């Protein structure tokens, strides 16, 4: 594990600290571990090359067994009611759809609320988890997995999953995508008053 900085990041909170792991059980689990021990800053991001037990929705596994794919989780400590977050997963998906089109002219579809789809196959997913203090959201943890370069797929998903490289033979700059997502998402958070910049 090492602490890193990424280029073109122009946020105030998101990406306040960024930790990179070559291999980890799950970026999502690591964020929660740090929250429980209170060893984490608002906006912390965990990025990994490989996950041995990545977390998907409904308890499913998210496979990140090969390098050069997008796998990261981050936390924010919002000041809002749970109802303010009702569209957040879909809105995150829209941000990624826009980024891939703006940067690479790739069209990605959304299977509401949290799947990114190319040619009918899943290329990415978004996991949103919260912890409440009464009716207020205390912790918001979001995990992102996108198959940008994956070529070989596990038996149980090979018929339903794909990658951007497999479909378009395009090499994605993963860090550029993550950086641009953070820039756009922080503006979204401010606009929707999900959290406030001090």
Quick one: pLDDT at residue 167? 95
Per-residue pLDDT at 197 exceeds 70: no
Give tens-digit pLDDT for 104-116: 999 999 998 899 9
Main-chain phi, psi angles of 188, to 5 degrees: -60, -45
Quick one: pLDDT at residue 58? 52
Nearest residue to 34 via CA among 52, 16, 9, 60: 16
Give tens-digit pLDDT for 116-155: 999 999 999 999 999 999 989 999 999 999 999 988 887 7
Q: What is the CATH number of domain 2-191?
A: 3.30.930.10
Quick one: pLDDT at residue 196? 53
Q: What is the mean pLDDT of residues 69-80?
A: 93
Provide the H-helix boundaries in 37-173. Answer: 88-104, 164-168
Quick one: pLDDT at residue 198? 44
158 vs 119, which has greater pLDDT?
119
Per-residue pLDDT at 157 exceeds 90: no
Helix (H, G, I), strand (E, B) or coil at 77: coil
Residue pair 35/74 in contact by the 8 Å Cβ criterion: no
Per-residue pLDDT at 169 exceeds 90: yes
Per-residue pLDDT at 62 exceeds 70: no
Quick one: pLDDT at residue 79? 81
Quick one: pLDDT at residue 59? 56
Q: What residue spans define the domains of the chain? A: 2-191
Give tens-digit pLDDT for 28-39: 999 999 999 988
60: confidence class by pLDDT, cuts 50, 70, 90: low
Per-residue pLDDT at 185 exceeds 60: yes
- Outline where DSSP puts E strands in 56-114: 61-64, 70-76, 109-111
- DSSP letter assigned to residue 25: S
């Amino acid at each position: 594990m090492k602490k890193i900085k990424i280029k073109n990041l122009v946020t105030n909170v998101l990406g306040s600290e960024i930790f990179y792991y070559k291999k980890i059980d799950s970026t999502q689990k690591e964020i929660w571990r740090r929250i429980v021990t209170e060893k984490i800053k608002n906006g912390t991001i965990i990025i990994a090359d490989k996950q041995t037990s990545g977390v998907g929705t409904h308890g499913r596994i998210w496979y990140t067994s090969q390098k050069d794919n997008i796998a990261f989780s981050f936390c924010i400590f919002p000041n809002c009611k749970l109802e303010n977050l009702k569209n957040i997963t879909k809105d995150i998906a829209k941000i990624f759809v826009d980024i891939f089109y703006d940067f690479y002219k790739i069209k990605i579809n959304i299977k509401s609320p949290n799947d990114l789809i190319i040619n009918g196959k899943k290329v990415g997913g978004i996991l949103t988890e919260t912890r409440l203090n009464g009716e207020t959201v205390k912790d918001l943890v979001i995990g992102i997995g996108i198959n940008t370069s994956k070529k070989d797929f596990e038996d149980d998903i090979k018929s339903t999953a794909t990658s951007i490289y497999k479909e378009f033979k395009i090499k994605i700059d993963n860090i550029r995508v993550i950086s641009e997502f953070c820039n756009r998402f922080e503006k979204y958070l401010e606009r929707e008053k999900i959290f406030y910049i001090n």
